[in-house]
Every structure is written in structure tokens, then in C-alpha cells.
Amino acid sequence: MSADSRSTHPLGTLSDRERQIAELAVAGLRTREIAERLFLSPRTAETHLSRVYRKLGVSSRLALSDLLRQAGWAG
């Protein structure tokens, strides 16, 4: 996705950290694994993931994965 289309697409509302966490969640990493990889507490990783869900209007990792796939978003 180009920088221009990111700014107009709902995925463009995510911060860099939120995009990282969304990508790792979709890749199948658990919250604890995401936290360890990004040097965060599990609670912080979960908070970021909750914000991703809220911003994109999804409520699960499966829905997030479907949304990213439909958007053709490779990260």
C-alpha cells in the first residue's frame, strides 16, 4: 500500500507501533510473544491491540486478519 493510500485508508489511522502489533498478531503471535519481540509488557501490547481493533472496527484477530487480507495490506 502506498503512503498516499495509507493516509486515506482506515489502516492509515494506525500508528507505526499499532501496525507492527497488528502484523504480528495476524502472523499468529500471541500477546506475550508480541510483547517480547517488541520489548513491551504484555499489558502494553494488549492495549495497542485493543486500539487497533477499535480504530478498524473489528473485535478479534481473525476479523483483523480478514480485514488486512481484503485490503491487500502486506504491511
pLDDT band at 73 (very low <50, low <70, confident <90, very high): confident
Average pLDDT over residues 32-58: 97
Length of the chain, in residues: 75
Show the domains of the chain with their CATH numbers.
3-71 (1.10.10.10)
Q: Rounded distance, CA 3 to CA 7, Å? A: 6
Q: What is the pLDDT of residue 49?
A: 96
Query: Does residue 27 carry a pLDDT above 90?
Result: yes
Q: How far apart are CA 2 and CA 5, in angstroms?
A: 5
* Residue-level pLDDT at 52: 96
- CA 48 vs CA 4, 5, 44, 63: distances in Å: 24, 23, 6, 16
